[in-house]
């Protein structure tokens, strides 16, 4: 490899993975790339796995998806981002629920192009959303709507903070109101836990969410006729099993002397 690729070799796999995702999102086949570059399809596949790669070849691959090589490296630079949002960022996002949702999905790795398609966002609106997030310092916006998110994928928000309250008001209430108990996608259990065991369960929740997101990575570029958006909620709270003795609850007795 050339000096540049040697200096950036730790980022090469990430750049190639990003290029493959963009090719798929744009519906560009390896055969299309081969034809545009005057190469065989086998050679293109070798390049996209990092074999025989040079600066010139990588630049040509980037041009296929309308991207400069410098932008590609900037997008995947080894910066895991902040682990949490500032209170001010939460307050700004909470002012516009859909903007907050878009930011969350960008942090999960979805591209602006996929979000624009799935939610039928016009070009002007998409530009407003992205420039707003860039102005707030939550993303870095590059040409052709390429973005780098300033937080890590599993960023945290404040318990009881602006975004937690927003999620409760806009999503969670409706989540339960429209819940279909006939679907197979739910379960319920109860058990007795010490504080230390309870923390083990919470850790299991975190690991499950990570696995949930990893499975979703394979489908995030699919159109809505092939994949639907799903919400996942974990909730655990103390319950009064002794109260089941009085189930169903009896109505409160009427005061003496009150008629029917």
pLDDT bucket at 240, cuts 50 / 70 / 90: confident
Residue environment code for 17-32, b if the CB has 16+ CB neighbours within 10 A, otherwise e: ebbebbbebeeeebee
> What DSSP state is assigned to residue 153?
E
The rounded mean pLDDT for the chain is 84
The residue ranking higher by pLDDT, 124 or 246, is 124
Query: How buried is residue 67: exposed, middle or buried, by Cβ count under 10 Å (0-12/13-18/19+)?
Result: buried
Radius of gyration over alpha carbons of the chain, in Å?
25
pLDDT 10s digits, 124-171: 999 999 999 999 999 999 988 989 898 887 788 898 999 999 988 888
- If you classify domain 3-75 with CATH, what class do you get? mainly alpha
Q: What is the fold, at CATH topology level, of the domain defined by 82-154?
A: Arc Repressor Mutant, subunit A (1.10.10)
Q: Where are the domains of the chain?
A: 3-75, 82-154
Give the Cβ contact number of residue 177 at 10 Å: 7
Distance (Å, whole) CA 114 – CA 129: 14
Distance (Å, whole) CA 117 – CA 111: 10
């Amino acid at each position: 490899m050339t000096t540049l690729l040697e200096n950036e070799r730790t980022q090469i796999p990430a750049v190639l993975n990003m290029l493959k995702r963009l090719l798929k999102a744009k519906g560009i086949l390896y055969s299309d790339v081969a034809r545009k570059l005057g190469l065989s399809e086998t050679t293109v596949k070798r390049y996209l796995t990092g074999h025989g790669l040079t600066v010139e070849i990588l630049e040509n691959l980037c041009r296929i998806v309308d991207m400069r090589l410098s932008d590609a490296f900037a997008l995947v630079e080894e910066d895991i981002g902040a682990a949490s949002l500032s209170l001010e960022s939460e307050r700004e996002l909470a002012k516009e629920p859909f903007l907050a949702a878009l930011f969350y999905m960008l942090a999960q790795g979805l591209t602006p192009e996929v979000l624009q398609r799935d939610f039928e966002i016009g070009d002007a609106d998409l530009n407003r959303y992205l420039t707003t997030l860039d102005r707030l310092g939550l993303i870095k916006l590059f040409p052709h709507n390429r973005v780098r998110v300033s937080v890590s994928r599993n960023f945290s928000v404040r318990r009881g903070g602006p975004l937690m309250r927003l999620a409760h008001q806009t999503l969670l209430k409706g989540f339960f109101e429209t819940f279909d108990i006939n679907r197979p996608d739910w379960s319920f259990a109860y058990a007795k836990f010490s504080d230390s065991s309870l923390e083990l369960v919470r850790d299991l929740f975190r690991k499950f969410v990570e696995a949930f997101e990893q499975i979703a990575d394979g489908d995030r570029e699919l159109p809505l006729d092939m994949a639907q958006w799903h919400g996942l909620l974990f909730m655990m709270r103390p319950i009064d099993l002794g109260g089941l003795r009085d189930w169903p609850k009896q109505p409160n007795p009427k005061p003496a002397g009150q008629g029917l």
